[in-house]
């Protein structure tokens, strides 16, 4: 009889963890992140925002520098539109570029949560049409390359005032942005 009690006690002790584990719920898999909810509309500005940049472009249509800025009340919007303006290429519908001064206008509409960008030619010519694009200039400063390519960074004097229109078909934007290989 004692043997049966010992067996029953051992059986109870052996099954006790199984009973308690069965009562514990299985762990849930980690929740998936919904990328559409990373920046909810509640974080977007509630008012209309407006910025204006007066920029210079070269013969390829690249913005070379920003002359004047009219800021909005939002520092983050100002920074985003400033960065966009520095990377802008301005070309005609035919794919040609007119070196000159332009006004870039950014308007944010809180109802649609979209930014509208407009481009206006202020004056053709009067800029250094051979100047390096601002985005390429920043890239070369971030990743300097020693060697003969340093001579290419020498600024060229500005051409005589007047309209300078590049009517030839311009190279592909991707070809312009790729750095040239260094000589071996």
- Residue 134 is encoded by which pair of tokens? 């601002």
Give the residue extent of every domain in the chain.
42-143
Q: How many CB atoms lie within 10 A of CB 54?
A: 17
Listed range (4-8, 39-43, 81-85) with the worst mean pLDDT:
4-8
Q: What is the largest CA-CA distance in the chain?
A: 116
Looking up tokens 């960065």 gives 83
Helix residue ranges per DSSP H, 43-166: 75-86, 134-142
**When comparing pLDDT for 19 and 13, which is higher?**
13
CA atoms within 13 A on the CB side of 57: 31
Q: Rounded mean pLDDT of 63-80? A: 95
pLDDT tens-digit profile of 14-68?
665 555 555 667 777 777 766 555 656 777 889 999 999 999 999 999 999 999 9
pLDDT tens-digit profile of 114-168?
999 999 999 999 999 999 999 888 888 888 776 555 445 555 455 555 555 555 6
What is residue 23's predicted lDDT score, i.e. its pLDDT? 62
8 A C-beta contact, residue 58 and residue 132: yes
In percent, how much of the chain has pLDDT > 70? 62
What is residue 130's predicted lDDT score, i.e. its pLDDT? 94
What is residue 8's predicted lDDT score, i.e. its pLDDT? 58
What is residue 99's predicted lDDT score, i.e. its pLDDT? 96
The reply to whether the predicted model has a pTM over 0.85 is: no
pLDDT value at 94 more than 60 = yes
CA angle centred on 82, ends 78 and 86, rounded to 5°: 175
């Amino acid at each position: 009889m004692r043997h049966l009690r010992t067996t029953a006690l051992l059986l109870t002790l052996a099954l006790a963890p199984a009973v308690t584990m069965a009562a514990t719920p299985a762990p849930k898999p980690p929740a998936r992140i919904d990328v559409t909810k990373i920046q909810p509309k509640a974080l977007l500005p509630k008012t209309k925002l407006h910025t204006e940049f007066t920029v210079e472009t070269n013969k390829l249509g690249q913005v070379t520098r920003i002359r004047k800025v009219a800021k909005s009340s939002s520092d983050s919007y100002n920074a985003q539109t400033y960065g966009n303006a520095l990377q802008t290429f301005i070309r005609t519908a035919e794919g040609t570029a007119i070196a000159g001064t332009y006004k870039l206008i950014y308007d944010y509409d809180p109802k649609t949560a979209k930014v509208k960008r407009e481009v206006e030619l202020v004056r053709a010519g009067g800029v250094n049409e051979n100047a390096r694009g601002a985005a390429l200039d920043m890239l070369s400063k971030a990743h300097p390359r020693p060697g003969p390519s340093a001579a290419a960074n020498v600024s060229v004097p500005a051409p005589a005032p007047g309209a300078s229109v590049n009517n030839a078909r311009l190279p592909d934007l991707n070809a312009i942005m790729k750095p040239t290989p260094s000589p071996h």
